[in-house]
């Protein structure tokens, strides 16, 4: 199964949005998705994403991210979402996406990467551990809707 990883372009945003909605169903929180295609396009200077594309040029996975600065460690890459369609899991697509993000973070001189994983998602937790991530349980997320 051949998959190419590349930076997303605005013409890819519709497919990424559809995968994002699919991901929200997988996460059991579809009601939390409020982003629109128009918003993604207007925020194209901020929205950063790598996509996984199969031989038929279908987008089968994505990894969205942004840069952050942590007062304890400095510049970092925050992996917002990483999702691969079910049919493409167990074929190293997730590893390819994550390795691409890791390489990008290193190229941009980041000191670390950070992301979240749902406590119930044991497959993802094991995947991230195999990739070398430390799973900490000391912090709780805070969201303030604006």
Rounded to 5, what percent of the chain is helix, strand, coil? 35, 25, 40
Q: How far apart are the first and last CA of the chain?
A: 42
Residue 20 to residue 23: CA distance in whole angstroms:
5
With vertex at residue 130, the alpha carbon angle to CA 125 and CA 54, rounded to the nearest 5 degrees, is 85
Query: Which of 69, 70, 88, 128 is the catalytic position?
Result: 128
Please tell me whether residue 114 adopts helix, strand or coil conformation: strand
128 belongs to the catalytic site:
yes
Catalytic center residues:
128
């Amino acid at each position: 199964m051949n998959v190419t990883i590349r930076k997303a372009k605005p013409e890819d945003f519709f497919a990424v949005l559809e995968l994002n909605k699919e991901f929200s169903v997988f996460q059991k929180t579809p009601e939390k998705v409020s982003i629109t295609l128009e918003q993604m396009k207007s925020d194209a200077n901020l929205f950063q994403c790598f996509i996984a594309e199969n031989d038929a040029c279908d987008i089968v996975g994505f990894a969205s991210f942004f840069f952050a600065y942590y007062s304890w460690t400095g510049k970092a890459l925050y992996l917002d979402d990483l999702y691969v369609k079910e049919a493409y899991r167990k074929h190293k697509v997730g590893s390819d996406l994550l390795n691409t993000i890791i390489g990008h973070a290193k190229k941009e001189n980041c000191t670390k990467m950070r992301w979240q994983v749902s406590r119930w998602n044991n497959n993802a937790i094991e995947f991230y551990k195999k990739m070398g991530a430390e799973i900490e349980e000391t912090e709780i997320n805070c969201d303030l809707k604006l």
